[in-house]
Structure 1
Amino acid sequence: MNTKLGRRDLIRASLAAAGAGAMLTASQQTVMAAESTPSVPENTTILFQGDSITDAGRDRKKQSTNNARGLGNGYPVLIAGELLSAHPESKLTIHNRGISGHKVPDLAARWQKDCLDLKPDVLSILIGVNDIWHKLNGRYDGTVADYETGYEALLQQTQAALPKTRIIICEPFVLRCGAINDKWFPEFDERRAVAKKLADNMKLDFVPFQTMFDEAVDLAPPQYWAADGVHPTLAGHALMAKKWLKVFYQA
């Protein structure tokens, strides 16, 4: 029997050993990550609500839970993938009901069907950029006060109907590029302050997206994170998912 290995055989053996080692390392990392990640209660239902940033091109014909196409191409699907892979034992149910172009009044008009009827255990809301953008474009005349009263009423309605639901308020954000100019300010900052005020007053969780992006532009220009100043790039959505999960796990 020939006991000598040819060069090709040696390469194959080395690759096989390296592959096995990599698989073992990946498996160990997965186990370690699962052990270090806080648990999520079994059968938790998570709902993402908002405008086009949340919608992210989702297929509205594929609204079955945990469906990648139905969750869109943005931060909700990135979050869902992370949670579903980290907590297979929890049997999570994750929805995305963001709709492009929507403002607070639009959410209110569909809230029963697209929120309350789904009975989420965790409700994440990102809304506000269209409330000023459409105003600047002459398609809406809502004021900052309208934004506050409408948003507060929506939150109160939710708490009354679903008192055990954990609500996460996401800070509206823009980056100074693309569609964003001086006309947006200071009113946009006033609307951001309203979202933070409501979260504080109602003791809700708050995801500081604007602060996050303000820090991110020290690493790359605004266009890298949101080409038009409003809609995040893949990098921007990934940053949002990371920040959202940090808040989610800290509570």
Structure 2
Amino acid sequence: MTHSIDRRVLFQATAASIVAGVAASPYAAAAPLADTDSSESVLPQGATILFQGDSITDAGRARPRDVANDARALGNGYPMLLATELLRDHADEQLKVYNRGISGNKVPDLAARWQADCLDLKPAVLSILIGVNDIWHKLSGKYDGTVADYESGFKALLEETQSKLPDTRIVICEPFVLRCGAVNDEWFPEFTQRREAARRVASERSLEWVPFQEMFDEASKVTAPEYWAADGVHPTLAGHSLMAQTWRQTTGI
């Protein structure tokens, strides 16, 4: 029993230290440290919070049930876990939480559906996690996009979003992999280059940054990476829970 309590305390401290470390990093402008007391985070009445990305965000969500605050439409991953907490803690704001992640998506796929799946929803908060398929599909011979393609495409998508939704708070989640399962030496150094490209884009656009790779790297020092993401890409329930915790602590929402 003592061991499990110590471990829980350790991961709470790890998440907090990650947030503090990002604030102190040279990329702090892309990831300002927000107040972690949700009562201090003001959201507009009826605000929409939108989670976008690939299968990690999709997490088996039911389609076409694209309605707000629907358990099946939110999937089985970090967007659903965050929705349960945000809807509880911001009851007075009557939030609308959507998950529009689609399994297999890359940056070009987001761009192709961005009008209907983002701009038309006019989110007050937009969270984006994208990048793992841009390299995974390349390694499997299904895509030939380069790191430069990823960076320029992501930048163009964000420029369009900020132009059309200037009041939207945009949160960029760090693409991540864990060294287990499908992830081997072939992924590197290109995956690291793509992760750095995502961070540059966030910094250049002065957007918030959620350090998921750093979070999983720290967690894997204590517990085997397979515990957090068995195939190295898709988080387990524990991995999704850690993502939700870090997202909230970083954004302060």
What TM-score results when the alignment is normalised by the length of structure 1? 0.84
Q: Which has the higher contact order (CA 8 A, sep 6+)?
A: 2
CA distance 1:223–1:163, change in 2 (3 Å): same
CA displacement at 1:43 relative to structure 2: 1.5
Q: Which residue identity is paired with 2:115?
A: Q
CA displacement at 1:44 relative to structure 2: 1.3
**2:37, 2:252 within 8 Å by CA — same for their partners in 1?**
no
Q: Which residue identity is paired with 1:189?
A: T
Match of 1:164 in 2: 167
Match of 2:102 in 1: 99
Percentage of matched positions with identical amino acids? 66
SS, match of residue 229 in structure 1: coil
**1:43, 1:92 within 8 Å by CA — same for their partners in 2?**
yes
Q: Which residue identity is paired with 1:238?
A: S
- Tell me if 1:58 matches 2:61: yes
**1:34, 1:87 within 8 Å by CA — same for their partners in 2?**
no
Distance of 1:61 and 1:147 partners within structure 2: 28
Q: 2:116 aligns with which of 86, 106, 113?
A: 113
**2:68, 2:96 within 8 Å by CA — same for their partners in 1?**
yes
Match of 2:128 in 1: 125
Structure 2: which 5+ residue stretches go unaligned? 1-35
CA displacement at 1:40 relative to structure 2: 3.2
Greater Cα radius of gyration, structure 1 or 2: 1
CA displacement at 1:38 relative to structure 2: 3.8
Q: 2:240 aligns with which of 234, 237, 241?
A: 237
**1:39, 1:87 within 8 Å by CA — same for their partners in 2?**
no
Please, what is the CA RMSD of the aligned residues? 1.5
Match of 1:140 in 2: 143
Q: Which residue identity is paired with 2:73?
A: G
CA displacement at 1:36 relative to structure 2: 5.6
1:1-251 matches, cutoff 5 A? 38-249=41-252
What is the aligned residue count?
218
**1:132, 1:184 within 8 Å by CA — same for their partners in 2?**
yes
CA displacement at 1:219 relative to structure 2: 1.9
CA displacement at 1:248 relative to structure 2: 1.8
SS, match of residue 167 in structure 2: coil
**1:34, 1:86 within 8 Å by CA — same for their partners in 2?**
no
Deviations 1:64-108 (A, max 9, x none): 100010000000000010000111101101111000000000000
Distance of 2:121 and 2:196 partners within structure 1: 29
**1:48, 1:97 within 8 Å by CA — same for their partners in 2?**
yes
Distance of 1:238 and 1:37 partners within structure 2: 23
